[in-house]
Chains A and B, each alone.
Chain A
Amino acid sequence: MKPLRTLLLAALCALPLACREHVESKSYFGSAFPERHPTSYPEMSANAVLRQAPPFEGEDIFPCSECHDPDFMEVDPTHRELEDPHDTLDPLRHGAGRLWCLDCHDAEDRDMLHLASGRTIPFEEAPLLCGQCHGEKYRDWLGGAHGKRTGHWQQGQGKEVWVCANCHRAHAPQFKPIQPKPAPKRPEVTR
Chain B
Amino acid sequence: MSPEVSRREFLCTVAGCAAAAAVGGCSDITHTDFFRKRFRELEPDELKDIIADLEARQTAKYGKQTTISTKGPLPGVEYGYALDVSRCVGCRRCEYACFDENNQGHDPEIHWIRVLEMEQKLGINFEESDPYYEAEEVPEPGHFYLPVACQHCRNAPCVKSCPVGATWEEEDGIVVVDYDWCIGCRCCVAACPYGARHFNWAEPKLPAEAQNPNQHYLGNRPRPKGVVEKCTFCIHRVREGQYPACMEACPVGARTFGNLLDPNGELRYILENKKVFVLKSELNTKPRFYYYYG
Contacts and interface: CB of A to CB of B under 8 A. Distances in A.
Given A167-B252, A184-B132, A145 B258 contact: no
Given A17-B260, A152-B243, A184-B114, A177 B139 contact: yes
A145 B264 CA distance: 13
B136 A191 contact: no
B251 interface: yes
Interface string A154-191: 11011000100001000000010111111111111101
A7 B281 contact: yes
Interface stretch (B61-69, B157-165, B175-183, B267-275): B267-275
A4 interface: yes
B281 A10 contact: yes
A95 B256 CA distance: 28
B253 interface: yes
B148 interface: no
Contacts of B124: 4, 7
B123 interface: yes
Label chain A's interface by main secondary structure: loop
A146 interface: yes
A18 B271 contact: yes
A123 interface: no
Contact of A45 (B195, B260, B264, B278): B264
B266 interface: yes
Interface of A: 1, 3-4, 7-8, 10-12, 14-15, 17-18, 20, 22, 24-25, 28, 45, 140, 143-155, 157-158, 162, 167, 175, 177-189, 191
